[in-house]
Structure formats: structure tokens, C-alpha cells
Structure 1
Amino acid sequence: MDDFIEELIQTKMKIAESEDKSLAKSKQLKEITEKLTANSSEIEEIQTENESLLQTIAKLIEEKNTLRTQFEEKLEIIKKNSTETTDPEEEDLRSLNINSEIRTDEDKIKTWTNILANWEKVKKNKRIKLLSKKGIPSKLRGEVWGKVIGNNLYITPQLYGILQSKFAQQERDESTLNIPADIRRNLSSFQSAQREKPLFQTLQEILEAFIAYRPDTGYVQGMAYLASILVIYLDDYKSFECLANIIFKSEILRTFYSFDLPGMQSYYRVFEHYMKKYVPTVYDHFDEIGITPDLYLLEWVYTLFSRCFSVEIVSRVWDSYLFEGDAYIFKVGIGILISLEKELQGDMNGIISIILNTAGYFDDASKLFRYVDRLNISLFKINKLRDTLRVSRLSIQ
């Protein structure tokens, strides 16, 4: 156990070192963002520096997240073998009346209002993550999402305005011309949102600003769906801020949105690994008739399941995704396959139709979330599998 604790301490030190590097780069990013705001005439030159820095920070965040997940898993092992029963974090929650049982919608609103009021004190507590699985109240969802996502990119309303102006001056490429059609395709599901101006215009402005902000990424079809979910709960600027930060924080979104084919293939292989483990009958049938993850997982990732369910169920998925990170994409994907195991035994066309249009099968998603919560999938395990499967594939070649 002493060796294990020493290893845990070393991991913690590596996390601290990675955080220091990230902090230093983040300070540079803040300075560059301030330059962008103050010197809009020099935006092209400054933005090149900005893109390079974003890539460096993204790698540091990936390293830090992997180390943190590894640390938390080791810490859980120590806790299980420890006789200590008092958890200071749980004491904090009890003192704030956050640890009490939630029985009604009113209790839920009171609990999350209390969490928001004490966010800095309780944000890292695992109890908050567990509460998010029960759903965040709609009236507080936007504020909670904004807190969880954060703004590590230091985006400001002034920068948002500059980016909109910049887009108006630049040439349109083919993907940009697809934005209006993509927005219309998913708009009908979100018209219930109360907004001061037409939703179409709002979404177009958000997506155009993102293109101006990240020309290296550009516009990818699924982004319209992400923006559509965000504008239900957030204003225009905050939706843009959250969209940019979600994509920046998520390694799997960055991989898929940048069409990194080797990276995408590694995620497909990991997903198939979990299919074999948790839903082997579906895996065997898909393998037999030639259905591969790129035929459905691609869209699930691009849209973060926004096309799979009703707005309320998608929002519940996002409640947990924003707290748990990329591993939750795998959990929900496998959960869908488990839930529809019987329906996914037909021919290829029928299965693809079902798997890309699942909304009608999930009027009540309680069963789906029960399956999802039982799955033992973590970011650390996903990354370890990616490395293992990559090495295995290279040795075969």
C-alpha cells in the first residue's frame, strides 16, 4: 500500500505540473484575446498565434484530464481500504443542506440554487455529479451549464461582436453555405424556445462567429445541433461562448470536427470493444451484416445525441455529459444499443433507420439512464484502450 500511495503522490505532482503549464498558457491566451478585442484591424496576425496556442493548451488539458482520472481511480482504491469515515467534502455539502434527499421539483430547484450560490466551494464534489444524473431544473440549466463549461478561452462579448464583423468580410466556402440548410433541418424541434429575435438568425450568427474564431476548424454539420440546444437555455453571446469552450475542452469533438481519421478510427475501435463487452449480440449481428461505428457513432458525436431524443431527454444527457466529459458519450451510445437490443436484429437498412432516428423509442428515458449509469466506462480506460488497440494494430501491420 505504501508503494501505491507513493505512486498516487507522484501522479498528483504530475497533475500539478500540468496545471501550472496550462495556467501559463492560459495567461498567454487571455493576453491574445485582449489583443484581438483591442486591435480588430490586426485580427488575422493575432489569430494565427491564437490558433497555435489553443492547440498547445488542448494537448495540456488532455494530459491533465488523463492524469486526473488516473489519480481519482487510485484514490478510490485507497478510500475503500481506509478506515477513515469522515469526508470533509460531504461535511461541506451537509452544512449547505445540499446533501438532503430530493423528493419534489421544488426540492430540486432549492438544491441547485444552493449549489450555484456556493459553486466555488462545492463544484468538485462527486455528489454534484450524482445530482446532475437526476436532471438539472430547466430554469437553472443555463446557469449551471455555463458554470460547468467555464470560459477557459477568455471569450468576451466584445470579441463576439468583432468575430461577427470579421465573418461578414470574409469569403464563403462550401461548408459555410450549408449553414442555412442545416439550421432549417433541425429548427422545428426547437421553436418552443422563447427568444427576442428569430431563432434562425440567432443560430446563424453564432455559427458564423465560430467560423471566424476557429477558421482552422471551420463549420461542421453537427455544430448547428449543438448551438440549437444551447440557445434554448442561454442568450446569444453565452451560447457562443459555451459552444466554443465545449468543442475546445472535448478531445473527441476536436478529433471528429477536424476529421482526424486515425483518431476517429481509434475511438471506433474502443466503442466496438465496449459493444463486445456490454451488448455482444448486437456487436455480433452488426459484424455479420457489415454495420460499422462510422455509420452511426459519427453522427452521435457530431450532434452530441441532439437528433436522437426529445429536447428534454437531450438536455438530461447533456446535464451528465458536461459533468462527466467524453466518457459519457460512450456510455450513452452503448446504453442506446442495450435499450434497443431486440429492435437491432433486422437487416442493415432497417437498423440504420432505427439507430439514426431513435426518438420514437425513448418517450421515457428512465430505462436508458439506468443502463447508462451501470456502465463502467471512464476517460482513463478509453485512452488506455486507444493506446492498447493502436499498438496491437501496428504490431499486426
Structure 2
Amino acid sequence: MSVAPTPHPRSTVPGVPAFTPPRRASASTASAPTGRTSTGRRLSDWFRSLSSSSSTVSTTSTSSTTQVLCRTRPHTLPPKPKAEDAKHMAEYAKMMKAAQARDAAARAKATKLRLVREKEAIAALNTWTSQILPNWDKVRYAKKTTDLWFKGVPPRLRGTIWARAVGNPLHVSPDVYELCKRRAADALTSHRMQRAALDAALAEAVAKRARAPSLSSGESSAATLSGHGETAPPQQPMVFQGRKDTLDLIANDISRTFPALGVFQQPNGPLAEPLASVLEAFAVYRADMGYVQGMSYLAAMLLLNMDDYSAFATLCTMFRHRSGVLPVFYRLDLPLVTKYFSVFSTLLAQVSPGLAAHFDRIGLRPEFFLYEWFLSLFSKPLPLDMAARVWDLYFLDGDAALFRIAVALLRFHERLLVGLAFDECISDVLRLPGRIKPGPAGRVGEVDADVAFWDCVRDIVPLDRDAYRALCRGAGLVPPE
């Protein structure tokens, strides 16, 4: 009994031609010579008509936003029933309305938070100007002052408060600053003249050697090296004393200091010349140390908040104690640097023992990242507003603030670091300061990331001066008072 073939379903999509299934080929057709069969022709014709109809549909359809949103199925599928389509569009409208309501609530919350912060900033500014600064000696270490200080010094008062916090125990006067600037200018001029004279003498020696072919190269070299031949350049007296020869490094580093701000870059940067003056004067004042790369960020942060003389005096005071973190790290005093690394490791083990054990297991040592953080007092790796708050804490608690911030950075990102291999871990650690930016922290209550970080500094890493001195004495250090 023969079974009738099931008819092939025809396309019901508008604008798409129906496909007619091919009939079984006859014996004559099967034995036909090679070439395009009727089946091949029909398939190719159908695909060709399908592509042409698709292009026609796409070109004739309206591209308005409303029609795109209302199209609930592709044109190659049968349309939805009207009831189902209406139901889905109603659900879509409901979702859009809910999303708009959430956006409006988020904007209202952000506006409310901004107004609250503005009121707090105004109240803090009034407290600083009317209560703290007029009675500085009495309330400098009061709990109310330190609590307000921890929340951040008002930007317009930072220069005044930072200068008062460190004082001027070295009695650096404006006359001292001007004298150091003049000596730096004279040293640079003399050095450039000396270098020009040496270059001219060398060029003359090369020219004489070229004009005297009879003199063998060996004799010429011997005469030059011995200093008795005519080709030897004249000896010039040394101008620089100590480490003042590092003055030439300053011009190269200024353009690389806070490049995003554009205020320290030549030729139009308004603070480029003051920054050069402060650094050159400091290199003369501290001739035992001179200029070291990284100091430009210290002087630049000071210049953003005070005049050049105050920045110079404050910078000199910050390097006053030879056993402090800044002088030790900039002099690269390895025995003392190693002891400071021990202080950091001890504090990290107390606050985050799991992360400290992970660092020991993969061989990640503090020197791999603390140098970059401490040399600029976090002003290079952190966003500028966050770095300013770190400096506030530094002028409040001294060197203890640096260890507190460093440990808090690692503790705040502990979940990201535990379990990583050495290469991934060190790469993430070096990028950690840049992650602390205002914005959602991914915690309940939509707390900003910077707010959550400072909560971590206050609550999880409470390191005051006495506790820091105890850690230093345990590592064999004599911390500055």
C-alpha cells in the first residue's frame, strides 16, 4: 500500500515566497548528464527570492523608535496574536516606568547627599575658622579637633593648617629661601658654563687631532689620557658641592608631575616656575641629599595649597628627622628601610593575617609597592582629592598615617587579592590606589567607595602615634617625636 507524501508546509511570512518541494526525479532525470537539476534551480531561485524579499522588507520598514520597540518578533516569524502582543507591551511599559522611577529616586538621593555634604563642609569651615585656628595651641590635639581633622581639612584652609601642623622648627625664613634660590641659579649657570667649556675644549682637541695625521693614534690617546698632550681639555674647578649636582634632573621631572592638571608643564603652566624654584632651593638647602626623583610630587602638592616660600619651609621641615620615613626612603638607607618594612609587615599581620600569610606564601614583599606609595605620600598613585586627605592625616599623625593608609588599602581589597598568583597579585596591588574613587562600592546602602575606604581606615586600622612608636621600637627603630 502506498502512502501519500505529506505536503510540505508553506511559508506564511508576508513577503516571503512559498517553497514548493521538489518532485521525485524520474529515471530519465536521474540519468541526465551533469548540470543544474530542476531541484537545484528551484532551491537557488527560492533562496534568491528570499534574499530579495528580505532586503525589500528591511528597506520598506519604518525605522522610527516606536516601531522598533513595538516589533515583538522578527519578521521571519509569524506575528503574535494581538492579545499576547498587547500583554507583552503592557509589561514592557511597566518595566520602563519602574526603571525611570528608580533613576529618579537615585538622582534624588544623590542630590540629597550632595546637599548634606555641602552643609557639613560649611559647618566644618566655620568650626575651623572660628574655634580651632584662633585657639590652635589649646585645641590642636583635642578629640573634637582630631575627629574633624580626620574627615578632611577644608581645601581653602589646607595650606594654613598644614604649615601650622609642622611648624617651622628649622627657622627657615624668606631670606633663606631667596639665598638658596640665588645659589641654585649660580650653580646651574656655573655648571652650564663649565659644561660648555669642556665641550668646546673637546671639540678643539678633536679638530687638532684631525689636523695632525702624522701623530699616531696610540700616541694621541696616551697624550690625551696622561694630560700632558695638547689634546687634553683644560681642567675646570668643580662647582657643585654635595648633591647639588642633581639640579639638572629637576627640569626633566617637572613636566611629568601631575600631567593631568597641566599647571606644572612648560611653557604656560602657572606653577612650573615656582615648582622649579622650590626644588632647586631645597637641593641647595639639603646638599647632603640633593634632588631625588619623586620630590617633585611633594613640592607640587604643597604648591597647590600654599605659596612657594611656605611650600619650601614645609618641605624642609618634612625632611627634618633623619630617622623619619621620608629621609630614610629618599636616602635609601637600606638598614632602616628594612626595619620600616618589618613595621609594615607586623601591622598587616595584625589587621589582615590571611592576606599577610598569602603574601608570604607567594613571595610578595613590601618593597615591591611601598616605595612608590611612600615616596610621594600617595599623591602619585591616588586620585588628587583622596591624596589630599592622606596628606591631612599625615600632618595629623605623622609617619603613622602612611602605614595606616597602606594597610587599609590592602585590607579594603583583601577579597580581590587572596588566592591570586604572584604576577596577578602584584599587578593588582600596584593598581589598588586608583580604584578608590567616588562611586558605588557595591555594598548595602549604596555607600560611596571613598566613604567606605575611610570607614575602613578609621574602624579597622586604628593606629595612633603611641601604637606606631611601639611597633617601631619593636623593629629596632627610634621614631621621630
Smaller-chain TM-score range? 0.5 to 0.7
The alignment status of 1:152 with 2:169, answered yes or no, reads yes
The alignment status of 1:104 with 2:120, answered yes or no, reads yes
Aligned residue number for residue 91 of structure 2: none
Cα distance in structure 2, aligned partners of 1:348 and 1:200: 39
Segments of 5+ residues of structure 2 without an aligned counterpart are 1-117, 188-239, 439-449
Aligned residue number for residue 354 of structure 1: 428
Aligned residue number for residue 93 of structure 1: none
Aligned-partner residue type, residue 355 of structure 1: V
Query: Are the aligned partners of 2:328 and 2:337 in contact in 1 as well (CA < 8 Å)?
Result: yes
Aligned-partner residue type, residue 286 of structure 1: F
Query: Are the aligned partners of 2:244 and 2:287 in contact in 1 as well (CA < 8 Å)?
Result: no
The alignment status of 1:209 with 2:285, answered yes or no, reads no
Cα distance in structure 1, aligned partners of 2:312 and 2:387: 19
- Indicate which of 134, 146, 153 corresponds to 1:117: 134
Query: After the TM superposition, which residues 124-143 of structure 1 pair with which residues of structure 2 at under 5 Å, given as runs?
Result: 124-143=141-160
Query: Are the aligned partners of 1:206 and 1:240 in contact in 2 as well (CA < 8 Å)?
Result: yes
1:330–1:192 Cα change, 3 Å: same
Cα distance in structure 2, aligned partners of 1:354 and 1:181: 29
Cα distance in structure 1, aligned partners of 2:244 and 2:173: 26
Cα distance in structure 2, aligned partners of 1:272 and 1:378: 17
- Deviates most, 374-383 or 333-342: 374-383
1:225–1:280 Cα change, 3 Å: same
Q: Deviation per CA, 1:147-182, whole angstroms, max 9, x where unpaired?
A: 112111111111111001111233486743332333
Structure with greater helix percent:
1
Cα distance in structure 1, aligned partners of 2:150 and 2:260: 23
- Deviates most, 176-185 or 363-372: 176-185
Cα distance in structure 2, aligned partners of 1:381 and 1:110: 32
Cα distance in structure 1, aligned partners of 2:434 and 2:417: 14
Query: Are the aligned partners of 2:244 and 2:291 in contact in 1 as well (CA < 8 Å)?
Result: no
Aligned-partner residue type, residue 314 of structure 2: C
1:372–1:160 Cα change, 3 Å: same
Segments of 5+ residues of structure 1 without an aligned counterpart are 1-101, 392-397
Query: After the TM superposition, which residues 338-377 of structure 1 pair with which residues of structure 2 at under 5 Å, given as runs?
Result: 338-345=411-418, 346-364=420-438, 365-374=450-459, 375-377=461-463
1:224–1:356 Cα change, 3 Å: farther
Cα distance in structure 2, aligned partners of 1:113 and 1:277: 39
Aligned residue number for residue 187 of structure 1: 258
Cα distance in structure 2, aligned partners of 1:105 and 1:384: 35
Query: Are the aligned partners of 1:136 and 1:319 in contact in 2 as well (CA < 8 Å)?
Result: yes
1:317–1:217 Cα change, 3 Å: same
Question: CA offset at residue 260 of structure 1?
Answer: 1.6
Cα distance in structure 2, aligned partners of 1:276 and 1:107: 39
The alignment status of 1:235 with 2:235, answered yes or no, reads no
The alignment status of 1:166 with 2:151, answered yes or no, reads no
Query: Are the aligned partners of 2:263 and 2:270 in contact in 1 as well (CA < 8 Å)?
Result: no
- Indicate which of 270, 292, 314 corresponds to 2:343: 270
Q: Deviation per CA, 1:181-213, whole angstroms, max 9, x where unpaired?
A: 3322223144369xx963222211111110100
> Cα RMSD over matched residues?
2.7
- Indicate which of 300, 322, 325 corresponds to 1:252: 325
1:246–1:126 Cα change, 3 Å: farther
Q: Deviation per CA, 1:279-321, whole angstroms, max 9, x where unpaired?
A: 2222122212221111111222111111221111111111121
Cα distance in structure 1, aligned partners of 2:142 and 2:172: 27
Aligned residue number for residue 199 of structure 1: 271
1:309–1:382 Cα change, 3 Å: same
The alignment status of 1:312 with 2:312, answered yes or no, reads no
1:386–1:111 Cα change, 3 Å: closer
Q: Deviation per CA, 1:248-295, whole angstroms, max 9, x where unpaired?
A: 157121221222211111110111111111122221222122211111
Percent identity between matched residues is 33
Aligned-partner residue type, residue 384 of structure 1: A
Query: Are the aligned partners of 1:190 and 1:311 in contact in 2 as well (CA < 8 Å)?
Result: no
- Indicate which of 329, 349, 372 corresponds to 1:299: 372
Question: CA offset at residue 237 of structure 1?
Answer: 1.0
Aligned residue number for residue 7 of structure 1: none
Q: Could you say which structure has the greater relative contact order, defined with CA pairs below 8 angstroms and 6 or more residues apart?
A: 1
1:258–1:360 Cα change, 3 Å: closer
Cα distance in structure 1, aligned partners of 2:367 and 2:329: 11
The alignment status of 1:378 with 2:449, answered yes or no, reads no
Cα distance in structure 1, aligned partners of 2:475 and 2:140: 34
Q: Deviation per CA, 1:125-145, whole angstroms, max 9, x where unpaired?
A: 232111111111111111111
Q: TM-score, normalised by structure 1?
A: 0.67
Question: CA offset at residue 380 of structure 1?
Answer: 3.3
Cα distance in structure 1, aligned partners of 2:181 and 2:245: 19
Cα distance in structure 2, aligned partners of 1:275 and 1:359: 17
Query: Are the aligned partners of 1:321 and 1:328 in contact in 2 as well (CA < 8 Å)?
Result: yes
User: What SS does the aligned partner of 2:272 have?
Assistant: helix
Cα distance in structure 2, aligned partners of 1:354 and 1:199: 33
> Quick check: which has more Rg, 1 or 2?
2
Question: CA offset at residue 111 of structure 1?
Answer: 0.8
1:254–1:379 Cα change, 3 Å: farther
1:174–1:336 Cα change, 3 Å: farther
Query: Are the aligned partners of 1:335 and 1:368 in contact in 2 as well (CA < 8 Å)?
Result: yes
Cα distance in structure 2, aligned partners of 1:354 and 1:220: 27
1:191–1:359 Cα change, 3 Å: farther
Cα distance in structure 2, aligned partners of 1:189 and 1:357: 18
Aligned-partner residue type, residue 184 of structure 1: S
Aligned residue number for residue 76 of structure 1: none
Query: Are the aligned partners of 1:142 and 1:233 in contact in 2 as well (CA < 8 Å)?
Result: yes
Aligned residue pairs total 291
